């Protein structure tokens, strides 16, 4: 046992864990409040631990704030291992974000990415995260509920509620990344000493308003219109729900599970996917040869062994590659004058983010067409 978690600095926890591993080896124990924690620092050992103790690690600890955001844990990432989790994960992976479903809504995500590319101002210093985040969130929402037609003629552009949703995800990511004393001392939960839970509850209501309103609109649009088909993921979810209603199985039991699945797709990967795009662009501006390496490494970053491995890999890969490829295909990115050295320092939140956001200047490539012709 090497010490007490509260003495470590939360922004750089991952680095401090790595330093401790240098001194104590790849596996050691820490104490945080009344909870012992085991830190495993080598990928090989992590794989061994996760595989050998599948049942122990098949339910993840749900931080108080994450539960608030997930309809009290009624969503794939927060559900304990068991039949509800297995059924929801199966619906998500095999139906909602299956290859077939994602192929079918390709035009929707491409429309939203193209709309985002058009908003990038050539020659102006551009926050890479913001630009990519808009495209990632808007294209995710376009695939999810943009099949009723958006601002672009065929493929849809920014879907309804995109701006509100983007803002809400930004706020959610900050709250999820903040250490909450209630997680270490569950008895203090009801006092919400840092006020994080109150903020999360308000924000969760905003998410729920958007999701509920989208579902209600869709149900209204479908009323009395037999055979009307929306080519988006929400429609697939409604069909699954219809089947469940008929057989009396899982999703009919709880509207929360249904909304949890919508939330999974809408919020699951936007921040990590955009963060990876920003890191990839940083690496690229540093050394062009790393491009291939960056894309190849995606699998290793997102995928891990064990039962709770990321279920959104399929979607994340397509989105990230398409957004990144469109940014690189449409523009040549250069660092602002006088900035030669790139900053690679990171801070820990839900994912490791850049301390200094990447700002680069886009110069249009003379290729005629904005966006990217390659299909992902």
Q: How many residues bind ligand HEM (CB under 6 A)?
A: 23
46 contributes a contact to ligand HEM by CB under 6 A: no
Detail the DSSP E strand segments found in the chain: 27-32, 35-40, 126-127, 331-334, 346-348, 352-354, 359-364
Task: Please state, in angstroms and rounded to a whole number, the distance separating the CA atoms of residues 82 and 341.
Answer: 49
Tokens 């039962």: give the residue.
307
312 contributes a contact to ligand HEM by CB under 6 A: yes
Distances (CA, A) of 24 to 19, 28, 46, 314, 358: 9, 7, 16, 37, 35
List the x/- string, 328-357, binding to ligand HEM by CB under 6 A.
------------------------------
265 contributes a contact to ligand HEM by CB under 6 A: yes
CB of 336 to ligand HEM, least distance (A): 27
The interface with ligand HEM within residues 86-145 (CB under 6 A) comprises 89, 97
Which residue, 114 or 320, is less far from ligand HEM as judged by CB? Answer: 320
According to CB under 6 A, which one of 62, 68, 76, 131 is a site residue for ligand HEM? 76
Query: Which stretch in 35-43, 213-221, 315-323, 330-338 sits in contact with ligand HEM by CB under 6 A?
Result: 315-323
According to CB under 6 A, which one of 260, 272, 362, 371 is a site residue for ligand HEM? 272
304 contributes a contact to ligand HEM by CB under 6 A: yes
According to CB under 6 A, which one of 209, 219, 228, 309 is a site residue for ligand HEM? 309
311 contributes a contact to ligand HEM by CB under 6 A: yes
Which residue, 162 or 361, is less far from ligand HEM as judged by CB? Answer: 162
The answer to whether residues 124 and 366 touch, using CB atoms and an 8 Å cutoff, is no
273 contributes a contact to ligand HEM by CB under 6 A: yes
308 contributes a contact to ligand HEM by CB under 6 A: yes
Instruction: Return the HEC string of 214-276.
Output: HHHHHHHHHCCCCCCCCCCHHHHHHHHHHHHHHHCCHHHHCHHHHHHHHHHHHHCCHHHHHHH
Spatial CB neighbours of 359, under 8 Å, sequence gap ≥ 6:
125, 126, 127, 128, 336
According to CB under 6 A, which one of 310, 342, 352, 370 is a site residue for ligand HEM? 310
Spatial CB neighbours of 345, under 8 Å, sequence gap ≥ 6:
354, 355, 356
Spatial CB neighbours of 184, under 8 Å, sequence gap ≥ 6:
5, 6, 32, 33, 34, 35
Query: Which stretch in 39-47, 251-259, 312-320, 359-367 sits in contact with ligand HEM by CB under 6 A?
Result: 312-320
Distances (CA, A) of 178 to 13, 116, 194, 262, 349: 12, 30, 10, 24, 7
According to CB under 6 A, which one of 49, 113, 316, 360 is a site residue for ligand HEM? 316
Site residues (vs ligand HEM, CB under 6 A): 76-77, 89, 97, 264-265, 268-269, 272-273, 276, 301-302, 304, 306, 308-312, 315-316, 320
């Amino acid at each position: 046992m090497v010490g007490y978690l509260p003495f470590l600095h939360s922004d750089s926890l991952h680095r401090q864990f790595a330093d401790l591993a240098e001194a104590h080896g790849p596996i050691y124990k820490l104490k945080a409040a009344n909870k012992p924690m085991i830190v495993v620092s080598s990928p090989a050992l992590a794989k061994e631990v996760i595989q050998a103790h599948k049942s122990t690690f098949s339910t993840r600890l749900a931080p108080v704030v994450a539960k608030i955001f997930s309809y009290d844990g009624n969503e794939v990432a927060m559900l304990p291992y068991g039949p509800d989790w297995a059924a929801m994960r199966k619906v998500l992976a095999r139906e909602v974000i299956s290859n077939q479903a994602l192929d079918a809504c390709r035009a929707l995500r491409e429309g939203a990415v193209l709309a985002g590319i058009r908003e990038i101002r050539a020659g102006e210093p551009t926050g890479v995260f913001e630009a990519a985040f808009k495209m990632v969130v808007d294209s995710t929402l376009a695939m999810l509920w943009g099949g009723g037609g958006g601002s672009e003629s065929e493929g849809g552009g920014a879907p309804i509620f995109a701006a509100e949703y983007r803002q809400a995800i930004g706020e959610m990511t900050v709250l999820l990344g903040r250490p909450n004393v209630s997680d270490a001392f569950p008895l203090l939960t009801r006092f919400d000493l840092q006020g994080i839970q109150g903020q999360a509850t308000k924000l969760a209501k905003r998410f729920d308003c958007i999701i509920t309103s989208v579902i209600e609109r869709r149900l209204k649009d479908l009323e009395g219109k037999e055979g009307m088909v929306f080519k988006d993921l929400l429609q697939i979810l409604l069909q699954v729900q219809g089947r469940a209603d008929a057989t009396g199985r899982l999703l009919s039991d709880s509207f929360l599970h249904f909304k949890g699945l919508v939330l999974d797709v809408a919020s699951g990967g936007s921040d990590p996917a955009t963060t990876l795009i920003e890191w990839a662009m940083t690496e690229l501006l540093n050394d062009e040869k790393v491009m291939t390496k960056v894309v190849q490494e995606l699998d290793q970053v997102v995928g891990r062994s064990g039962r709770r491995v990321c279920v959104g890999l399929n979607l994340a890969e397509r989105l990230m590659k398409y957004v990144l490829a469109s940014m690189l295909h449409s523009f040549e990115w250069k660092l602002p004058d006088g900035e030669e050295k790139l900053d690679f320092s990171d801070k820990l939140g839900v994912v490791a983010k850049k301390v200094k956001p990447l700002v680069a200047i886009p110069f249009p490539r003379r290729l005629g067409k904005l966006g990217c012709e390659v299909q992902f």
